[in-house]
Homo-oligomer: A and B are copies of this chain.
Amino acid sequence: MSTKTKVVVLGSGVAGLTAAHVLTDGANADQFDVCIVARDLPEDFHSQAYASPWAGANWSPMNMDERLTGWEKRTVEKWREMEAEGSGLVMYEKSKIYHKGPPPEKLQSNYKAIVGSDYAISPSDLPDDFGVDTVSTFTTNSINPRLYLPALKAELEKRGVIFTRQRVISLDEVCEMAGEGGVVVNATALGARSLLGVEDKKMYPVRGQTILVEAPNIREFMACDEPYGPNNDYLFYFIPRPGSTEALIGGTYQPGNWDVSVNWDTANAMWEKAKRLMDPTCTLSNTTSVCVPLVKAGLGLRRSSEKKTTLVLHSYGFGGAGYQQSWGAAEEGVELLKKALKA
C-alpha cells in the first residue's frame, strides 16, 4: 500500500499543470500521488471556455507587488533552465515596449533585476500618431502555449499522472476523489466562481480577444502600454510563438465582459496596428481569433479545509499573468501544502 499523499488537481490550465509538475518533481515524487481531473484538456485547442491555449504567453512584468514579483522572477529562472536544456519550448528575444512618458522607476528596476538583460529607454524611433513618447528595450522569454501545454502533459504522463476528463460541480466531489487525508488543488480559474463549496464571487471575467497571424519575419516581442480602440480597452501586444511562424496579437482588456463571440472589427483593428507597427506583410490568412474570459481577483494561494478532512490548495485568479507567475506560484503553493501536511 502506497504511503504517498493522494492529490487531485482540478483543472489542466497552466496553473494546474505546473502545480502537478512541482508535486511530481524530484523528492516530491516520493511524497505525492497525483492525478488531474478537468473539463478541458491540453489538446482542446478549440474550447471557448479554456483560456490557457489562447494566451500570449511571455514574460513582461505586470505589477509591483513583492510576492507576485517573486513568482515572476522564479518563473523566468525556470524558463531559462528549460531554454538551457534545449527544450525548444522557450524563446529569448529582444523586446520593445512603447510608453507615454517614461516608464515607472520601480518597473524599470524590476525589469533589470528580474529579466537580467540590458534595459534601455529611448525617445527615438517612435512610430507616428500613437501617442507614445518613449520606448524601453530589453530581452525576455516567450513560449508557445500550444506546444508548452502538451509538453507539460506528456512529461506528467511519463511520471505516471493520470488525466481524467470530467466536469466537476462541487468541491465535495473532488474531495471525495482525494479521500481521507488526501489533497485537492483547486486550479479552476474562472470556474472558481461557480464551483459549489468555493463560489468565489470576487472572481470576474476579463474579455481578452486576440488573433493569430503568420509573421515569420518578426521574432521580437512588442507592446504598447497606451490603450486604444473605441472604449480605450484595446491593448497592443505582438508575441511571436517559438517553434512556429505564428505570432499572437493582442488584445482587449474588458473587465466584466463575458462575451465569447469574435468581434471582427476588433480583430481588424489589432491586425492593422500590427501591420503598421511590426510587419506590413503579416497575414491574417490561416489564422484564428477568439475571446478568452480571463480571471482577475482572488489572486493568490489560499489553503482551506472544507467539511472534509481533505486539504484544499486554491491556486487561481492570476488574471493575465498566469504563465509568467506559474512556476513561482506553484512552488509556493506546494511549500504551503507540505508545511500543512507536516503540522
Contact residues of A with B, CB < 8 Å? 39, 45-49, 165-167, 169, 190-191, 193-194, 196, 199, 257-264, 287-289
Contacts and interface: CB of A to CB of B under 8 A. Distances in A.
Contacts of A48: 48-49
B260 A169 contact: no
A197 to B, nearest CB: 10
Nearest to A199: B264
25 contacts: A39-B46, A45-B167, A46-B165, A46-B166, A47-B47, A47-B49, A48-B48, A48-B49, A49-B49, A49-B260, A167-B288, A169-B262, A169-B287, A190-B261, A191-B261, A193-B261, A194-B261, A194-B262, A194-B263, A194-B264, A196-B264, A199-B264, A258-B258, A258-B259, A260-B260
Nearest to A46: B167
A294 B97 CA distance: 41
A286 to B, nearest CB: 9
B46 A169 contact: no
Nearest to A258: B258
A170 B259 CA distance: 19
Chain A binding surface SS class = loop
Contacts of A287: 169
Contacts of A258: 257-261
A191 to B, nearest CB: 8
Nearest to A262: B194
A66 to B, nearest CB: 32
Instruction: Across the A-B interface, give the 4 residue pairs with the lowest CB-CB distance, nearest first.
Output: A258-B258, A194-B262, A46-B167, A48-B49
Contacts of A264: 194, 196, 199
A167 B49 CA distance: 14
Given A39-B46, A194-B262, 4 more contacts: A48-B48, A191-B261, A257-B258, A258-B259
Nearest to A49: B48
A144 to B, nearest CB: 18
Contacts of A167: 45-46, 288
Contact of A169 (B45, B49, B289): B289
